[in-house]
Structure 1
Amino acid sequence: MQPDSRHRHLEFIRLNSYHVCRWLFKFAVKSQGSTQD
């Protein structure tokens, strides 16, 4: 296993988790806003 491919894999995981966190945050804000409406 080459270190370059492993680094790319870690980068992909980091980007993926970042997008998931953003989606969860957006979802939480949306649901919170609907309950306060």
Structure 2
Amino acid sequence: MKRIAVGVALLLMAATSAIGAGYTWKNLNPIAVGT
């Protein structure tokens, strides 16, 4: 059970960081996103 909880937590953190990186990339490179 602990392993599953840790795996879920890691997946959530990875998803959150990926989404955050995506928003940061959009904010820093609006022209690149537009193309």
Kindly report structure 1 stretches of 4+ aligned residues shifted beyond 4 Å: none
Percent identity reads 6
Q: Compute the TM-score of the two structures, normalised by the length of structure 2.
A: 0.82
The count of residues paired between Structure 1 and Structure 2 equals: 31
Matched, 1:29 2:26: yes
Larger radius of gyration, structure 1 or 2? 1
Larger RCO of the pair (alpha carbons < 8 Å, separation 6+):
2
Q: Compute the TM-score of the two structures, normalised by the length of structure 1.
A: 0.78
